[in-house]
Amino acid sequence: MEYILEILGQIGIYIILAMSLNLMCGLTGLLQLGHAGFFAVGAYAAGLVTIYWFQPAWGYGNYAIGAAAAMAAASVCALVVGIPCLRLRGDYLAIATLGFGEIVRICLNNIEFPGCKLTYDEPFGGATGIELPFEAYYSQWWFIWIHVIVIYILLLNLKRSAIGRAFMAIREDEIAARTMGINPARCKIASFLFCAMFAGLAGALFAYNQISLSPNDFTLLRTIEVLLMVVLGGLGSFSGSALAAVILVALPELLRFAPSVGGIQVSEYRQLIFAALLILLIRIVPNGLLGVNEFHDLPRRAITWLRRR
Amino acid sequence: MVATSVTSRQTGPNSGMSFLLRTRGVIRRFGGVVAVDDVSIDVRCGEIAGLIGPNGAGKTTLFNLITGLDQPDHGTIEFDRRDITTTPAHRLVDLGIARTFQNIRLLDELSVADNVKVACHRSICYTTIHALLRLPRFFREERRIAARCREFLDLFDLGPVCDDTAGSLAYGQRRKLEIARALATGARLLLLDEPAAGMNPQETRDLMDMIRRINSEFKISILLIEHDMKLVMCICDHLFVMDHGKLIAGGTPDDVRQNPKVIEAYLGRRSTSNCP
């Protein structure tokens, strides 16, 4: 049971990460590969704030301060990275943000935070992680899921407003968007800010869930995983991102319990099966599981589909 | 009536015969090519002006300079007596300049209604907070915008397809939607880049009526690029002819028709077309 709840919490964090990345990649059409960087900045900001100023009496107040610090730190990073980088287009923006993600990870690998208890000392030395006080375990699975629901609603509201329309207009045709009065620079920065802010919040939740943080939690692989969720769920569909996050986290775990068939332990091949299933899914639904639709669109879509039959 | 409720901006205070758009000595070079060479044109308030010329004459480049998508190397552009030479495109929408494109630029993945709603972007007054938390002002503004869009879509007979994606429309409808979208910005000057391209004669006639209606009912001045001489000669009050980046003639359609320079550069022979 504890194991399942732990996975549930992880799924929640991934959903927030995927939805926030979808805001930038799916809605605004800007490929960003530094998501793990913002996630790390959020996690470390929350972690350090809690390590230095933890007050047992404040309870969840510690969390609130940490989360605020996480979002602020990630937003500042987004501004610093975004203002020069958003002049870049397509692949170049992806490379620049990828660079940011790696810089963050390498910095964290080498900065020694004074007074922080290191989780472990690697033989080659260097600061490899920080450890939060054990009382700071605020991110129970339900706490994470409250965030998931609130952020989901906020992002949907954003998508179905003038701001969301402006983001999508930039994705579709930047020149047309400009001639309709949309300031692309401002919209891109706004999109980047929201993306980073929610990634930072996910980082804070992660910090209060894991207690010990290490730079190895924030590798490029994490960004790729999240991007995979965004693409699999459907670019521009927050519901799709959530669904894909559930599948991509739960599936490898479920495959652990696969029965042995004809003397072959299927669970040992779970990575292979997982990869094959992914390829199969993308073949079947190239636009992602939900395309651009959200959960609440589905009944209407189903009706129009049935009518056409 | 639709016209009175939709028109959001009146023409300027001295709208009689004053100039709405005025370019002076505009030059734009691309490397060694002078795409627009010392062009000065005036578009009066309330008129339909045409910009014609052979392919590669620099007409679209001039449009890009006027609409702020590109900046001239020399010269000035004035709109309603305000210098807009270096004003970025999205700010020109506030002043009242809107355009369509030669190769229609719709937001294909968005619905027809959303395409028009995007054009109302500048007139929406709620903040991100209102949108995120869905405060009452958000709903009020969205209702207002939706009603406004509906009017424009109905005007162009696009009401029945308003929930379809723009990418799924037929060619003629796409042209109409782009014009509807440009109007929805609340424009006072509409720049149309080859609106009749790819249309059959019937569609072209409908388009001419449409342009006249926009001009007279909405009091919107129009500057259009067009290769369809019949259309241009019939609906334009004033014509400008460009060739190799230079303005070679300007005047009423009849003047232009008889201008030997124009005949030589472009028409080739005297046009005998009649208005339908």
Which chain B residue shows the shortest CA-CA distance from A163? B128
Evaluate if residue B6 carries a pLDDT over 50.
Answer: no
Mean pLDDT over B93-102 rounds to 94
B26 pairs with which residues across the strands? Answer: B39
The pLDDT score that the predictor gives to residue B16 is: 46
Distance CA(B179)–CA(B105), nearest Å, equals 11
What is the pLDDT, as a whole number, of residue A120? 55
Length of chain B: 276
Pure H helices in chain B:
2-6, 59-66, 89-95, 112-119, 128-133, 136-155, 171-184, 201-217, 229-235, 253-258, 260-262
Q: What percent of chain B is predicted at pLDDT more than 90? A: 66
B44 Cβ contact partners less than 8 Å away, ≥ 6 residues apart? B17, B18, B19, B20, B221, B237, B238
Q: How far apart (Å, rounded) are the C-alpha atoms in residues B38 and A202? A: 57
**Residue written as token pair 């259309």:** B231
**What pLDDT is recorded for position A143?**
94
Average pLDDT for residues A272-297, to the nearest whole number? 87
* pLDDT(B274) > 90: no
Q: Is the Cβ–Cβ distance between B151 and B116 less than 8 Å? A: no
**Mean pLDDT in residue range B50-54:** 92
Q: What is the pLDDT of residues A185-215, one digit of tens each?
A: 999 999 999 999 999 999 999 999 988 888 8
Tell me the C-alpha distance between B81 and B69, whole Å. Answer: 20
Q: Does B203 touch chain A (CB under 8 A)?
A: no
Q: What pLDDT sits at residue B5? A: 38
User: A102-116: per-residue pLDDT in tens?
Assistant: 999 999 888 877 766
Do B158 and B173 touch, CB atoms closer than 8 A? yes
Query: Within 13 A of A226's CA, how many CA atoms are on the CB side?
Result: 34
pLDDT, mean of residues A222-242:
93
Distances (CA, A) of B257 to A49, A167, B253: 78, 46, 6
- A169/B131 Cβ within 8 A: no
Rg (CA), chain A: 20
Q: CB pairs below 8 Å between A and B: how many?
A: 96
Position with higher pLDDT, B2 vs A236: A236
Confidence of residue B272 (pLDDT cuts 50, 70, 90): low
B117 contacts A179? CB cut-off 8 A: no
Comparing B1-10, B90-99, B116-125, B241-250, the range with the smallest average pLDDT is: B1-10
Confidence of residue A54 (pLDDT cuts 50, 70, 90): confident
Does residue A268 surpass a pLDDT of 90? no
The pLDDT of residue B275: 52
What does the angle CA A151 – CA A156 – CA A158 come to, to the nearest 5 degrees? Answer: 95
B45 CB within 8 Å of a chain A CB: no
Between CA B187 and CA B154 the distance in angstroms is 18
Rounded Cα distance between B246 and B58, Å, is 8
Can you give the pLDDT at residue A38?
Answer: 97
Chain segment B257-270, per-residue pLDDT in tens:
888 888 777 655 55
- From B88, B118, B126, residue closest to A169, measured CB to CB: B118
Map tokens 């900065």 to a residue. A111
pLDDT value at residue B192: 95
Q: Which amino acid is at A196?
A: A
The answer to whether the CB atoms of A183 and B126 lie below 8 A apart is no
pLDDT tens digits for B190-232?
A: 999 999 988 889 989 999 999 999 999 889 999 999 988 888 9
Q: Compare all CA atoms of chain B with the CA of A184 and give the residue at the minimum distance.
A: B90
Residue A119's pLDDT is 54
Q: Which two tokens stand for residue A230?
A: 């965004």
* Cα B125 to Cα B137: distance, rounded to the nearest angstrom: 8
Cα of B260 to nearest chain A Cα, Å: 37
Residue type, B214: I
Q: Output the DSSP codes for B196-225.
A: TTT--HHHHHHHHHHHHHHHHHS--EEEEE
Q: pLDDT confidence of B40, banded at 50, 70, 90?
A: very high
Long-range pairs for A84-88: beta carbons < 8 A, 24 or more residues apart? A86/A30, A86/A185, A86/A188, A86/A189, A86/A192
Measure the CA–CA gap between A74 and A20, rounded to whole angstroms. 12
Q: Which residues of A57-74 are buried (b: 16+ CB within 10 A; e: fewer)?
A: eeeeebbebbbbbbbebb
Q: What is the greatest pairwise CA distance in chain A?
A: 67
Range of weakest confidence among A134-138, A221-225, B42-46, B61-65: A134-138
Confidence check on the interface: ipTM exceeds 0.95, yes or no: no
Average pLDDT over residues A140-161: 95
Burial of A181 (0-12, 13-18, 19+ CB in 10 A): buried
pLDDT at B97 over 50: yes
Minimum Cα–Cα distance from B139: chain A residue: A161
Domains of chain A, residue spans: 2-218
Q: What average pLDDT score do residues B76-92 get?
A: 93
- pLDDT surpasses 50 at B120: yes
Enumerate the residues of chain A whose CB falls inside 8 A of the CB of residue B101: 175-176
Closest-CA residue of chain B to A153: B132
**What's the token pair of residue A123?**
């033989």
* Confidence (pLDDT) at A53: 87
How much is the pLDDT for A200? 97
Q: Is B122 at the interface with chain A, CB within 8 A?
A: yes
Measured distance CA(A88)–CA(A82) in Å, rounded: 10
Return the H-helix or E-strand segment holding A166. helix A162-172
Q: Do A158 and B121 touch (CB under 8 A)?
A: no
